[in-house]
Amino acid sequence: MTPALPREILICTIARLLEGVRTVAVGAASPMPAAASMLRRALDEGARQVRLSILGSVEHNFFTNGSTELFDCAGQGRLDAFFLGGGQIDGQANVNLVGVGDYPQSRVRWPGSFGSAYLYFTVPRVILFREEHTPRVLVEKVDFISAPGISPPGVYRPGGPVALLTSKALFSFDRERPGFTLESLHPGHDLAELHAATGFAFAHTDDPPVTPGPDTATLSLLRGRVLDELEETYPAFATDWRRDLAAAQPVT
């Protein structure tokens, strides 16, 4: 079997972070979190039911009360996991979805905070996922706090970040310190490269492990059922993925 592609390692890593969830929501334009949630659902079949809601999808949407229901669900404590990206993410897990430079007259304007200023507080397992791992994304301090990584004592905060996954590495987040800890480097990346690409300081061991790839059974499930399921919502992403798989096949 063709070894796991970089995007497959990311998807399987997210699926690992979702272990034990019952209900997970995926925002718009998030094919890899969607694939990972579908993989989690497939892996847990028979053991526990994983409910999955993909924003903007008709097929994968069980809400009937309009776009407010996702947030109401989170407020009720029914939503176990969610994903956030960010134009900027800093070392305290603050997320900026608004823009670069001063506010309101941003030098670069991004769409806006969406539901982050609520979901980051209310969803227990928020996974920060941003493929681009550069000093312009992973900054020391964000220019605008759409959603803060931590809250002072006394602020209602059942939710928050648990991990940050990029194209280069996986970090866990420690709310007490607060700060990120390098858990593993993806195949082909090293610590020196990571320091150069990261705008904030992070804790790490001298010899961090390599992010594990999926076993054969998981990879088969991913390339079969999950890829088929994903195709309905993310046809372009699925086509691209199939093309990568075809190109990666060993020449015989």
Partner 1 sequence: MPSDLRSMAQHIKSGMRLALPVDYAGVSMAMTRPMIDHGAGDLHLICVPTGGLQVDQLIGAGLVTSVETSAVSLGEAGGAPRFNQAVKDGALRLRDATCPAIHAGLMAAQKGSPFVPMRGLIGTDVLRHRDDWRVIDNPFADGGDPIVLIPAIRPDIAIFHAPMADRFGNVWIGRRRELAAMAYASTQTLVTVERIVDHSLLADEMTAAGTLPALYVTDIGLAPGGAWPYGLWGEYPTDTDELARYARAARSAEGFAEYMASQAKVQA
Binding-site size, partner 1 (CB under 8 A): 46
| CB within 8 Å of 174: residues ≥ 6 apart | 180, 181, 203
Q: Is residue 118 involved in binding partner 1 (CB under 8 A)?
A: yes
| Closer residue to partner 1 (CB): 76 or 216 | 76
| Closer residue to partner 1 (CB): 33 or 115 | 115
> In terms of Cα–Cα distance, which of 163, 123, 122 is closest to 17?
163
Binding residue for partner 1, selected from 7, 109, 204, 225, defined by CB under 8 A: 109
Phi, then psi, of 109 in degrees rounded to 5: -105, 130
Eight-class DSSP state of 114: T
**Can you say how many angstroms the Cα of residue 174 is from the centroid of all Cα atoms in its chain?**
17
Binding flags for partner 1, 27-66, as an x/- string (CB under 8 A): -xx--------------------------x-x----xxxx
Separation of alpha carbons 226 and 169, rounded Å: 23
Binding residue for partner 1, selected from 148, 179, 208, 214, defined by CB under 8 A: 148
The DSSP annotation for 22-48 comes to SEEEE-TT-HHHHHHHHHHHHHTTTT-
Binding flags for partner 1, 202-221, as an x/- string (CB under 8 A): --------------------
Q: Which residues make up the interface to partner 1 (CB under 8 A)?
A: 28-29, 56, 58, 63-69, 71-72, 75, 97-99, 103-107, 109-122, 144-148, 151-152, 154-156
